[in-house]
Every structure is written in C-alpha cells, then in structure tokens.
Amino acid sequence: MRVTVVGAGVVGTMHAWHAVERGHQVVQIEREAEARGASLRNFGQIWVSGRAGGAELETALRARELWEDIGGRVPGLGFRANGSLTPVRGPLELAVAEAAVARDDAAARGYKLLTPGEARALNPALRGEFTAALYCERDAAVEPRTAQLALREELSKSPLYTFLPGREVREVTGPGTVRDDHGDTHRADVVVLCTGAWLGGLVRELAGPELPVRRVRLQMMQTEPLGEPLTTSVADADSFRYYPAYASPALDALGAGQPQARTAAEHRMQLLMVQRADGSLTIGDTHEYEHPFAFDTLEDPYDHLVGVVESLLGRPLPRIRRRWAGVYAQCTDPSRVVHRQLVRDGVWLVTGPGGRGMTCSPAVAETTADALGW
C-alpha cells in the first residue's frame, strides 16, 4: 500500500513506523522543519500508573511493550524502564495509595506500597520526609526532544520511507489524495492526519465544528543537571487528582479533608518529574482549558513546583535552564484514548490523545494499522 502520514509528532511518526514495518510505502509530511508541538514539550514518560482500567490501561501496557521493543532497536530513543514513585504524606494521601494497590489490576501496573526506607533504597535522591510511596514498576521514560528524530533516522534507512518537511497540507482533492502548499499532490491508498493540537483550517473543514476534541495548555521547566541519579520518575499526591486510576472514596476524602494548595488548585497542578539523559530534570505541570490561552508563562506555578520538589529531594533544586508552555489535543470523552474518524474517502483523522500521546502512541498507531488492514 501507499500511505501518506500528515504530521511528524510522535503519533504521526509511530503511524509511519508501523506502516513501514509492514512493508508499505510511506510519505510523511510535516508543516514545520521539525515537529515542535506537544510531542517534544512533555516529560517523555511512558505513564502506565494512572491510566483508567480497561481499554486505556490495555493500550498503555501494549504501548509500553512496543516502546521497549523499538527502544532496543533504536537506542536514540533513550528508553529506560525506570518505574515511578509517588511519595505520600499523612493518612489521607496514604489511603488513596492503599486503594490503588487494592485495585484488581494493580499487579498489571506493578503497583507496590513502599516504606520510606524501601523507596529511598530504590531512589536515594528522595531525602525529604514522607509517610510512604506508591511504586509503579511498569512506568518508563524516553527522551522527548530526540525520540521523533531517532525514529525518523531509523525510518530513513528504508527505501519505503520519504520525509517532506516544511509543507502544509491544504486540501483533500480525491480519495486518499491531498495537495500541499507547494502545489504538489500526494496520492495514496490511505491518508492519516496526525495533526496534534492543530485543529483549525483543514482539520475543522474535514471533521466539522463539533469535533469532540479540546486543546489544553501546560507549563513545564527543565533544570541544570541534578548531580546525582534520579533513578525513578517522581510524582506527588496532587497527581492522584488528575488520573482516573486513583478515583475512589479515599480520593473523595482527600479532596474534602485536604484541599490543594491555592496555587496548585488555581492552575490545576500536579508534580511530575523525570531525569533526562544529561542529568537534568524535566518538571511540571499545569493545565489550562479555557480559550483564549495566555501567551505568557506565569511564575507562581514554577515557584510552587520548586517548593514541592525541594521538599521531596531534601535539597535545593539546580538552576532552572529553560521554561516553556505547550498545547495538546484531548478527547472530550474520557473513555476514548484517541478520536479516530474517517473524514473523507481514504482519509483518516487520528487526534486527541491528550496527555497520553507519548505513552500510548505506539499502540494507537498499531490499532490504526490493524483497523485499516495494513
């Protein structure tokens, strides 16, 4: 088959990967010189721990297998099975962690409740005070700023693959056929639009104004190297409020008895932290849902995150190297991992993974490939 993939973020690149793996001819078109959206502006976490039970968890676990397999073939991904720790403080947070460990699917996630001593044996950098820590063995990480580049470098070794950067697809001119802003027409058996948070223009024209996907803005930062290993990813108990796996009466009690700090609540914050290959830390994040989004970044969320991180590490944070904001596309139906829609004959739109894009993209692309008979 001939396949055209529009978009060079992680979702689009994984679609190209699966198509080439199955022996199809692929042209991948990207409107920028390189992808610059949420696929780069994230933690690089393969985040199994908080996923909703059922289809979402199955997708994340399958994606985790695929990441590990591809990472073995493409070292530039920086795949590492580092797991995650969520330190908790006090009886209310501890009860949420205990409820998570009691889930029927806890073993599939690799959940364990650790004492502070056990947690520090696993991650000695956590010198702060906490009551216990929820461990998720199945969590992992890759390098978000280089993962797509490494995948495309491997794809480029195949004569089946062509990458066309700096071209914006403007029009569907027929079944499986699109025209770009250079005036070139690309004919294929199937087109897959993986345009991320770019939901206007052609996407709105094809999918209609009622596309069940919204845009979400977040703020993050990266430090100078920590100077020691952070051997697991780290979250705080505020993350319990944002991931469906932790929904329970214990979480309701936490919300009633221990409201979020003002800044965290105002910016819908959680702590997620992962160490990069160079020793630096990626730290975030916030959630903004109301349009129009602010064009600037605010300091209060960063100050809050620094305080949380320093309390867990028991030491000052290294100097902040960079700060950024990003926007991702999220399905408004929380039961769906992505929105997959046939928008024209031979043209599919795949979008809306939300904060699950880096985690789930290999399995999302595999599902598309299976559904389309690649």
Tell me, what CATH number does 47's domain have?
3.50.50.60
Q: At which residue do the structure tokens 């702060």 appear? A: 128
103 and 233 in a single domain? The answer is yes
167 and 77 in a single domain? The answer is yes
Q: Judge whether 5 and 12 are in contact, CB under 8 Å.
A: yes
Residues 6+ apart with CB under 8 A from 69: none
281 and 373 in a single domain? The answer is no
Tell me, what CATH number does 326's domain have?
3.30.9.10
Convert the pLDDT of each residue in 214-232 to its tens digit: 999 999 999 999 999 999 9
Q: Go through the chain and tell me how many residues it has.
A: 374
Convert the pLDDT of each residue in 300-344 to its tens digit: 999 999 999 999 999 999 999 999 999 999 999 988 999 999 999
Which residues on adjacent β-strands are paired with residue 200? none
- Give the predicted TM-score (pTM) of the model: 0.96
pLDDT at residue 39, as a whole number: 85
When divided into structural domains, the chain yields a total of 2
145 and 35 in a single domain? The answer is yes
Convert the pLDDT of each residue in 166-220 to its tens digit: 999 999 999 999 999 999 999 999 999 999 999 999 999 999 989 999 999 999 9
178 and 327 in a single domain? The answer is no
227 and 292 in a single domain? The answer is yes
pLDDT at residue 314, as a whole number: 98
Mean pLDDT, residues 259-277 taken together: 97
186 CB neighbour count, 10 Å cutoff? 20
205 and 244 in a single domain? The answer is no
Q: What is the rounded distance in angstroms from the CA atom of residue 76 to the CA atom of residue 94?
A: 38
Domain that holds residue 64: 1-82+141-212+335-374
15 and 93 in a single domain? The answer is no
230 and 370 in a single domain? The answer is no
